[in-house]
Structure 1
Amino acid sequence: MPHPLRQRILISGASSGLGEGMARRFAAMGRDLALVARRSDRLEALQRELLAAHPGIRVEVAAMDVDDADSVATVVPALAERLGGLDRVIANAGIGNGVPIGTGAAATNRAVLATNVLGTHAQCEAAVELFRAQGSGHLVVVSSVASVRGMRGTRTAYGASKAALNSLAEGIRSEVHGTPIAVSTILPGYIATDINVGRRGPFTVDVDTGVDALTAAVEREPVRAYVPEWPWRPIAGLLRVLPLPVVRRVT
């Protein structure tokens, strides 16, 4: 069945990278936006840019640190009130500066796990509570192809955090199955953003290509999507069955 137009969209991590790119794409589609990130100065600059380019839309911004669950629980409903509700929440904020396990930088890996898992969980709690009250909504959890198998080096904690998000999103999907609340898990491959420094492989695409594919996937509202679908869907299938010695060589 076709889904209703998602006019009012909240995007976290909107001050840079994929979040900033999605904000531009959805603004060009005429959508109203609620943009959150830690860096309010960059959000306000983006807000000015989008309103100048698309004067018919609404763009609300707010500083929000996903590491602060109380901040998330306050900011998300406040933005929903300012826009008259939210039709879609894209839980995109995350960090990726992991280090190899056991090399004396455990705190760095804990930060990756805490922000990506607990920060996304906080966003999901706020979004689904809002959607339950509204009776509808679309939750988008941004995971990663790095979640498909355990990864070595700088990807270990990052991949583990994203694997947790796959399970979190599926659990929520099971909970709301049969209701007007949709849940999508999006798994980007290597896209040339700041978060992917040290995690770029031979199939890395530029930000514009990645954002175009990501936005199109979100609009389809799939249960799960790889971005870009080619070559990441077949690669993900291979990663699941290849022996670990092969996986560690190709990733």
Structure 2
Amino acid sequence: MTRQRILITGASSGLGEEMARRFAAAGRDLALCARRVDRLDALRAELVAENPSISVAVRALDVTEHESVVRVFGELRDELGGLDRVIVNAGLGKGAKIGTGKARANLATAQTNFVGALSQCEAALEIFRDGNSGHLVLVSSISADRGLPGPKAAYSASKAALASLGESLTIELARTPIRVTTLLPGFVETDMSARSGDASRLTASLDSGVSAMVDAIEKEKIRVALPGPTWKVIDTALRFLPNSVTARFL
């Protein structure tokens, strides 16, 4: 099945922006959301110039405002004549050691990465249930596998919650026409990963990272760590090895 009409949140930069380019090149119609609407307008102009046969709709959106998420998803559905796939990609990588007086960064990360993602799932699945079809994609993280210490604690917890939500929805919707994919990217070269100080020797290029993500999305895999076999091994190690072992390299 070709999912023609695709909504991507967090599309103004990084993984979301590059996924938009890939799907546009494949002839898909796009609904793009982010807080920075000026970046979205520039991206829309680029995509339509390079792929004149597609439609690209954009909206400013703060995913932490639930009513706005429901309204914007509905508007974009109406503008494109429906939605076939929603990619829940918007996220934050802020963080500080818990209890050091910098709670605001951790709370913002948790609010965006999980509560905001839950709002997107609510809005998307209401549309999909109404049409009895659709593909929900959750962009979690390899850090969902094991709680990370220090400034990444809130981030890994939020991504673990998102991955758990993906598992719950996969089970619930298994006997329906609605599909759910949970992606667990490792280190991929983006502005956010650079700010977070991810290990450079394990960092994949944006091109290879997004190529793996788009491939998994198009195949509608249920759960996949990526890109490449290295992150599949790390995924297995983090999930199944005891803390006494994983603590040495976290």
Using structure 2 for the length normalisation, give the TM-score. Answer: 0.96
The alpha carbon displacement at 1:245 in A equals: 4.2
Report the secondary structure of 1:184's partner residue. Answer: strand
Aligned-residue sequence identity (percent) comes to: 53
How do 1:39-50 residues align onto structure 2 when only pairs under 5 Å count? 39-50=36-47
* Residue number in structure 1 paired with 2:219: 220
Report the secondary structure of 1:101's partner residue. Answer: coil
- For the pair 1:200 / 2:198, whether they are aligned, the reply is yes
Say if 1:154 and 1:198, in contact at 8 Å, map to a contact too: no
Among 64, 69, 86, the residue aligned to 1:67: 64
Cα distance between partner residues in 2 of 1:163 and 1:217:
20
Report the secondary structure of 2:105's partner residue. Answer: helix
The alpha carbon displacement at 1:152 in A equals: 1.0
Say if 1:44 and 1:61, in contact at 8 Å, map to a contact too: yes
Say if 2:186 and 2:227, in contact at 8 Å, map to a contact too: yes
Cα distance between partner residues in 2 of 1:245 and 1:153:
17
Say if 2:93 and 2:196, in contact at 8 Å, map to a contact too: no
Among 101, 107, 111, the residue aligned to 2:108: 111
Aligned length: 248
Say if 1:36 and 1:62, in contact at 8 Å, map to a contact too: yes
Cα distance between partner residues in 2 of 1:134 and 1:241:
39
* Residue number in structure 2 paired with 1:95: 92
Among 24, 27, 30, the residue aligned to 2:27: 30
Say if 1:184 and 1:222, in contact at 8 Å, map to a contact too: yes
The alpha carbon displacement at 1:212 in A equals: 1.0
* Residue number in structure 2 paired with 1:156: 153
Partner AA of 1:192 in structure 2: E
Partner AA of 1:49 in structure 2: E
The alpha carbon displacement at 1:199 in A equals: 4.4
Among 159, 162, 166, the residue aligned to 2:163: 166
- Runs of 5+ in structure 2 lacking a partner? none
Cα distance between partner residues in 2 of 1:141 and 1:247:
25
Runs of 4 or more, structure 1, over 6 Å off, are none
Partner AA of 2:202 in structure 1: F
Deviation string 1:141-192 (CA, Å, 9 cap, x unpaired) is 0000001001012211100000000111122222222110000000000011
Cα distance between partner residues in 2 of 1:182 and 1:150:
28
